Chain A
């Protein structure tokens, strides 16, 4: 069957079993490889995407449930201040967890333009980072907050 939804501002229609994980459809049908497989169990956050602006795990979300809805993946955020802030802080080691974290950070900044450290930590609590880059990631989100206030793209 075919499923139609919006990804990064573009309407797409893909042929897929409606019970297929959204993650597999994004990666294999749409070529959006920035969303990553980590556990398939909604436990690590590597697969996080925005669904109508809210961060959701795509690894066990059936694609049939997103018909007509709006998805944002990390590829849709390439101009966002968060990406530059992560590079400025060198907030990454292996980098595998980062795209999911950027997604949750984007959702946080959309609902709270001046998050404190506790807000950032709370927004990232569903994410795991194995390299121990947490402190830099938190700093990068703080930096993005400041740069958006000064006019950087949000």
Chain B
């Protein structure tokens, strides 16, 4: 393997001893830069290391996301952890095994192939050698860079990878302290924030006496510019102070919003950075189909508000965070605080599911700013629920206009997707700002608005290029530069809106051609793995029973390969529509190549389906003049237990293929499947998400 084909994480961290150490008690420390965000990745990475080293899974001790102790693997995002970190762990573990066995073989005067490893102990033939990783690794240089040439175990010999194992982290989370919120440090102080309502807003007055009265105990009010922290040894007091402070603060220069800005349609005709991708424009003759689809702003809406701890002792700042990106966060903190990188350690601690870039990075800066001001104390900041809803970045609204020129058989011969969206990624390391930075006396510059490059899967353009066999395909992408609210990465980025548009258009084209939607798709789809998941999902759902449109019951399908390069997923949804949509059943077939932990993978498919059903049926961030107004669970409802469909998922066996990231693969197909099922049930199409009662009523009146 040449250096250019090494996985990115190995290129950036080529020393095996940065990843693997043999520790006392016959344990193996595996350090990784990817972090657990509820997706089960640490368990899967432990499986890969155990497999390649031939040690028991219970011997692996995971260290993750620590700038003092783990390799830099950037951000845990974009369904890349198994593809990139998994491939890296496999390569590094193979390298370690090979180096150690080569040295053992020299000692035994035999060939490395003649040495067998059983749970970390070395055997020559059937005979124990008395050597194992723990007493032999010291004789090998694990600091020498890996080059990817060590032989890796053939997949056919796998015993741990590809088998279902229980998540390592779940027992603690089920029964007690397990999250960043639960850390207790010596000399801990609790802090809450009075948030600047918008960039540029100035605190004209704060009735501190009223805040102190409401707090009812020891309270320190700390202000730097428009950043105001309420700090107390007692969490209840800090919380009460923050609630009171929002009521007793007067702000000037607040940016006001208009209600129309909460709708996706507002984005069209706003100033934008325009890019074209794909085939050049063509003047193709034929019947033209056009459809304009949209999705509103969507919140990550983590069940636990963001939290961070920070302490500054002897000039060194330590930050505990549930950010997806500890090394990038360290860079950003160093930049804002004007400190050297060597004076900051950032440690990941597991938090509630984030589903993308939520308030985790912002709250880390909040804590760090206070910790620098109050040294030798640990500052614990927890956002309030309404703060999380109002101030976390949200997933951008998106409009997708499909224009297809049809051939004589009603198949698209020319396809254009025109997209309007704000940025899908505004992480602090990628042009965005951490919230508190905008409130400081020298505020952050205006964010630099970009979107992920096409090579990284794109943002607004993610999955906008249909996989179907169409003569010419192109994207016109309008990256809207001044969004009404801060937007950033939410599970799938632009894929849900684009897949919804493509797959709804496919159903509309099938109907126009008078054909079955599955048969129509298969008639213009040559990718074999894509065909297989569609055929399988249709078979699982009993697609042939699908009846006439307009009965109030509907069956719909949606398909995509995430980013057109990761896992394939086809989803079929069965719905019932009266005043509301009820999703009764969902079937999914997915092909993720070699699957590390099948039950963990199914859990991700199921979770993606339900989260997408929630996005599709219920979710839209609402604005009023002051900003985001959907600031509690009544104003931002999500799917409840009584609304959950029965789900059946199947993984297509493809162990001979590389592992494909699959954490986000069902989001787009589920939205499309539900959209198509609702159209089938109603006999009329709704092209805008979410599929609310109001939209259903309006569609029925048409």
Contact = CB atoms under 8 A, between A and B. Distances in A.
A110 B606 CA distance: 29
A38 B173 contact: no
A138 to B, nearest CB: 7
A95 B182 contact: no
A125 B647 CA distance: 19
Given A83-B175, A131-B607, A136-B603, A95 B38 contact: yes
Contacts of A43: 632-634
A39 B633 contact: yes
A97 B646 contact: no
Given A31-B184, A90-B603, A99-B175, A134 B641 contact: yes
Given A36-B181, A94-B352, A131 B173 contact: no
B8 interface: no
A95 to B, nearest CB: 3
Contact of A102 (B39, B174, B382, B613): B174
B643 to A, nearest CB: 9
Given A93-B38, A99-B174, A41 B385 contact: yes
Contact of A37 (B170, B181, B640, B642): B181
Nearest to A78: B175
Given A37-B305, A121-B642, A75 B634 contact: no
B607 A128 contact: no
A38 B174 contact: no
Contacts of A27: 182, 235
B212 to A, nearest CB: 15
Interface string A105-138: 0000000000000001110110111111111111
B174 A36 contact: no
A130 B355 contact: yes
A39 B468 CA distance: 45
Contact of A135 (B355, B638, B647): B647
Interface stretch (B218-226, B296-304, B395-403, B458-466): B296-304
A34 B353 contact: no
A57 interface: no
B236 A33 contact: no
Nearest to A40: B385
B169 interface: yes
A90 to B, nearest CB: 6
B540 to A, nearest CB: 16
Contacts of B613: 132
A4 to B, nearest CB: 19
A68 B211 CA distance: 33
Given A74-B175, A128-B633, A131-B38, A94 B641 contact: no
B152 interface: no
Given A31-B184, A96-B179, A96-B303, A128 B638 contact: yes
A87 interface: yes
Contacts of A97: 303
Contacts of B176: 32-34, 74-75, 78, 99
A134 B353 CA distance: 15
Contact of B385 (A39, A129, A136): A39
Nearest to A20: B236
A38 B642 contact: no
A132 B611 contact: yes
Contacts of A81: none
A133 B607 contact: yes
B583 to A, nearest CB: 12
A95 B169 contact: yes
B614 interface: yes
A98 B614 contact: no
Given A24-B235, A90-B167, A132-B608, A34 B599 contact: no
A37 B603 contact: no
Contact of B606 (A44, A74, A102, A132): A132
A78 B172 CA distance: 10
Contacts of A94: 37-38, 173, 302-303, 351-353
Contacts of A130: 301-303, 352-353, 355, 611, 638
A21 interface: yes
A142 B302 CA distance: 27
Contacts of B632: 39, 41, 43
Contacts of A121: 641-642, 644
Contacts of A133: 603, 606-607, 610
Contacts of A86: 170, 174
A11 B22 CA distance: 45
Contacts of A34: 175-177
Contacts of B178: 33, 95
B436 interface: no
A74 B216 CA distance: 30
A82 B657 CA distance: 38
B603 A83 contact: no
Which of A39, A97, A137 is packed against the most chain B CB atoms within 10 Å? A39
Which of B173, B234, B385, B599 is packed against the most chain A CB atoms within 10 Å? B173
Nearest to A75: B176
B33 to A, nearest CB: 20
B114 to A, nearest CB: 40
Nearest to A122: B642
Nearest to A90: B599
Contacts of A127: 641
Contacts of B352: 94, 96, 130
A95 B175 contact: no
B303 A92 contact: no
Contacts of A67: none
A86 B640 CA distance: 19
Interface of B: 37-40, 166-167, 169-171, 173-179, 181-182, 184, 216-217, 234-236, 239, 301-305, 351-353, 355, 382, 384-385, 599-600, 603-604, 606-611, 613-614, 632-634, 638-642, 644, 646-647
Q: Which 5 A-B pairs have the closest CB atoms?
A: A132-B610, A94-B38, A95-B173, A94-B353, A132-B607
12 contacts: A33-B179, A37-B304, A43-B632, A83-B174, A92-B173, A93-B604, A93-B607, A124-B641, A130-B302, A132-B611, A132-B613, A133-B610
Given A34-B176, A90-B603, 17 more contacts: A31-B184, A32-B176, A33-B177, A33-B178, A39-B633, A41-B385, A41-B633, A44-B633, A74-B176, A86-B170, A90-B167, A94-B38, A96-B351, A98-B174, A127-B641, A132-B613, A136-B606
